[in-house]
Amino acid sequence: MPRTAATLTLTLASAAVLALAGCGESAQSGKDAGAGGGGGKDELVVAAVPAEESNSITSQWGGIAKLLERQAGKKVTIQQATDYAAIVEGQRAGKIDLAMYGPLSYVMAKDGGAPVEPIGALIDGKGEKPGYTSTAWVPKSSTIKDLKDAAGKKVCFVDKASTSGYLYPSAGLLDAGVDPASGVKPVMAGGHDASLLAVKSGQCDLGFAYDVMQDELVKKGQLEAGELTKVWTSDMIPGSPLAMNTQTVPADLQEKIKKAVVDEGNKDALVKAGDCTDAKNCPLPEDSWGFAPATDADYASVRKVCEVTKSPACSGKKG
């Protein structure tokens, strides 16, 4: 039987748009919600925030969209959100069925009352365990040698809902005796790439980003090797989860989708199924290999860091 390409609809969704949707409509529940779904009974809505400004969400999710469309028998719509707050509000409002979160934004959603459960977390290679780190970078000529030296400096974070771009950096600064709010001049760069490029341009004295972002920017020619110096690495962070809205995805599909994501949502399986031509031309979110199983318990360490930092973002509150 010939396989038709998944229908991909790209929607630029701002936090305000999705938040308004949440204010105007309550999330569906029970049998009616399952029948209706996030975008209608014949549709699955998947939302994500690009890790870099130049990333194409449709490209990153093309193979996964084909997999989900084939397994669930539904049209798959991809929404590109401007930030994690938009995704949290979208799932609370019942507008998003599956969402790619950072670990902190998942905790924000879950602990803030969104009906979500993680079904898989990104991994870089077959057999690996989910997890990554946050890193801090300064110009090669900088006198900043560690986070203690960041006191009083202009510091680039990603955004307040970013695990590796704000939460773990905040814990690192506190551990170094520096208040992340009043002890530095905080700048929200909006992206991991933007944070490091702001350090390059001199807009920030120090910038935080997830562990491999510097390498990715060097490969793209946006940074020169050795142009920035790493001065800090965080403890291991649980892998970024794909979370399912348990009120909008029909009960009979939930386990099927979870199994498909974990077992077949990887480069090897997508190539074998014909959803990608080859591994090199099979982009997945955050340049990963695929997904490993994930449960809510995997994010206990994020909640502990939330307790240390007392960040309002951990509960979904503004501030």
Q: How do residues 65-81 score in pLDDT, each as one tens digit?
A: 999 999 999 999 999 88
Q: Which two tokens stand for residue 261?
A: 């994501």
Contact 290, 267 (CB under 8 A): yes
| pLDDT at 51 (0 to 100) | 61
What's the pLDDT band for 315 if we cut at 50, 70, 90?
low
| pLDDT at 50 (0 to 100) | 75
Higher pLDDT, 2 or 274: 274
Across residues 150-159, what is the average pLDDT?
A: 96
What's the pLDDT band for 23 if we cut at 50, 70, 90?
very low
Question: What pLDDT digit, counting tens, does each position of 118-150 carry?
Answer: 999 999 999 999 999 999 999 999 999 999 999
Angstrom distance (rounded) from CA 63 to CA 266: 9
In the predicted model, is pLDDT for residue 226 greater than 80? yes
Angstrom distance (rounded) from CA 108 to CA 87: 11
In the predicted model, is pLDDT for residue 159 greater than 50? yes
In the predicted model, is pLDDT for residue 7 greater than 50? no
Q: How many CA atoms lie within 13 A of 254 on its CB side?
A: 18
Highest mean pLDDT among 81-85, 139-143, 158-162: 139-143
| pLDDT at 316 (0 to 100) | 57
In the predicted model, is pLDDT for residue 20 greater than 70? no
Please tell me the least confidently modeled range out of 33-42, 125-134, 257-266.
33-42
In the predicted model, is pLDDT for residue 26 greater than 60? no
Across residues 244-255, what is the average pLDDT?
A: 94
| pLDDT at 232 (0 to 100) | 98
b/e map 250-289, b = 16+ CB within 10 Å: beebbeebbebbbebbbbebbbeeebbeeeeebbbbbebb
Q: How many CA atoms lie within 13 A of 9 on its CB side?
A: 10
| pLDDT at 19 (0 to 100) | 35
| pLDDT at 123 (0 to 100) | 95
Pairing of strands 154-157, 206-210: parallel
In the predicted model, is pLDDT for residue 3 greater than 50? no
Mean pLDDT for all residues in the chain? 85
In the predicted model, is pLDDT for residue 259 greater than 50? yes
Across residues 250-258, what is the average pLDDT?
A: 94
Strands (E), 158-245: 185-188, 206-210, 228-233, 241-245
What's the pLDDT band for 319 if we cut at 50, 70, 90?
very low
Across residues 51-75, what is the average pLDDT?
A: 83
| pLDDT at 175 (0 to 100) | 96
Q: Which two tokens stand for residue 232?
A: 């800090």
